[in-house]
Amino acid sequence: MIIVMKPGSTKKDLEAVIKKVKELGFKAHTITGVERTVIGAVGDERGKHKLQTLETIDSVEKVIEILQSFKLASLEFKKEPTVVKVGGAVFGGDHFGVIAGPCSVESEKQMLDAAIGVKKAGAKMLRGGAFKPRTSPYAFQGLEKEGLKILAKAREETGLPFVTEVVNPEDVELVGEYADVFQIGARNCQNFSLLKRVGRFGKPALLKRGLSTTIQEFLMSAEYILSEGCTELVLCERGIRTFETSTRNTLDISAVPVIRSLSHLPIIIDPSHATGVRKYIAPLCYASMAVGADGLMIEVHPDPQNALCDGPQSLKIEDFAALMKKLKELSKFSGKKI
Ligand code: PEP
Ligand code: MN
């Protein structure tokens, strides 16, 4: 339910309503807009009718039911686009944020070469996996804590914030100690205990769409994170499982306008995991910008041929630099600042 406060209501009025919401057993999420302040009351659906009684409070204008099954993620709750800003990287509104870096952290030299290269080319955030959710238990699993330390060193050297994946709920504290943004990978899109732990931590998060999750389910996963208090969440479309085999997954580019019509959250595209093929990355980056995405996550490696993970889809640094140049030109027409 959304509780709309009357124009001119005071902070004290707001606090009194929030107190009532909590007494009724709901969590209160407040948005203070220029024109109006609203409280999103979320909790056990079965008791929602009790919230209707708040309409009798003088400072309350009205109580409206959110019809979508996701609530805090919905446009009904928040009409203005959410803009997530982490250091110089901005996603949402009229901003287009580019995240780049290798699939996984392999060594200090590899990560620093990648970080310096992508920064020079114009990336605003670094990526790199320290905990890798590999399909095979025999594949490289990541450097774990050592990888996080290397990422922190790369941040120190370049000033770029970094996003890195957290795979297990038990590692949220450790990853949160180092990372600027938590990444929740496609395979964990519906790992609800992980979503909740990340949502509670108090740092921004990037949620990837699951291999077979519908947009509705994807937004319900986002809701898990938001319902725990996180307000800085970026969604990432990274391709879905279809019958097509010429690409690793099928990039659902329509997810961008569909999500835009349902949610205020920024949505970016990862063409690297969507295709698995280097030569398809650039055209899909252009398409992402044209369709109105809020940014990109691109795998870039200083030596893709010898990468321990996802070499065939990783761009060389010079290819990434050329791509960024083109994207900057295209951004003149997209209406978003890159
Ligand atoms: C990744 O970005 O490192 C990754 C593993 O991607 P996904 O979760 O989309 O497969
Ligand atoms: Mn990868």
Look at the block and give the residue holding tokens 């961008």: 256
Residue-range domains of the chain with CATH: 2-64 (3.30.70.1140), 84-334 (3.20.20.70)
**Cα–ligand 2 centroid distance for 105 (angstroms):** 11
Of all ligands present, the nearest one to the C-alpha of 129 is 1
User: Do residues 188 and 167 touch, judged by C-beta distance below 8 A?
Assistant: yes
Whether 263 contacts 74, CB under 8 Å: yes
Residues with CB under 6 A from ligand 1: 103, 129, 133, 165, 185-187, 208, 238, 270, 273
Residues sharing a CB contact under 8 Å with residue 138, sequence separation 6 or more, in sequence order: none
Atom 10, ligand 1: residue with shortest CA distance: 186
Which residues on adjacent β-strands are paired with residue 74? 263
Model-level pTM?
0.97
Residue 47: Cβ within 10 Å count: 11
182 alpha carbon – ligand 1 mean position (Å): 12
The one-letter code for the residue type at 294 is D
State in Å: Cα 273 to ligand 2 middle. 6
Instruction: Determine the pLDDT at residue 105.
Output: 98
pLDDT (0 to 100) of residue 34:
77
Residues paired with 165 in a beta bridge: 183
**Residue recorded with tokens 């020079």:** 120
Pairing of strands 295-299, 233-237: unpaired
For residue 238, the ligand 1 atom closest to its alpha carbon is 9
Mutate to test the pocket of ligand 1, among 182, 238, 248 (most ligand atoms within 8 A of CB): 238
Q: Which atom of ligand 1 is nearest to the CA of 183?
A: 2
Atom of ligand 1 nearest to the CA of 270: 9
Ligand 2 center from residue 84 Cα (angstroms): 23
- Give the pLDDT of residue 45: 87
How many of the other CB atoms lie within 10 Å of CB of 87?
14
Residue of the CA atom closest to atom 4 of ligand 1: 185
Closest residue CA from atom 5 of ligand 1: 185
Residues with CB under 5 A from ligand 2 (ion): 103, 310
Question: One digit per residue, pLDDT tens: the chain, 338 residues?
Answer: 999 999 999 999 999 999 999 999 999 999 988 778 999 999 998 888 999 999 999 999 999 999 999 999 999 999 999 999 999 999 999 999 999 999 999 999 999 999 999 999 999 999 999 999 888 999 999 999 999 999 999 999 999 999 999 999 999 999 999 999 999 999 999 999 999 999 999 999 999 999 999 999 999 999 999 999 999 999 999 999 999 999 999 999 999 999 999 999 999 999 999 999 999 999 999 999 999 999 999 999 999 999 999 999 999 999 999 999 999 999 999 989 99
CA distance 247 to 235: 22
Q: Which residues contact 133 (CB under 8 A, 6 or more apart)?
A: 165, 167, 185, 187, 188
Ligand 2 center–CA 80 separation, angstroms? 32
Regarding beta strands 84-86 and 89-91, do their DSSP bridges make them parallel or antiparallel, or are they unpaired? antiparallel
Nearest ligand 1 atom to alpha carbon 104: 3
pLDDT of residue 98: 98
**The predicted structure's pLDDT at residue 170:** 97
pLDDT at 317: 98
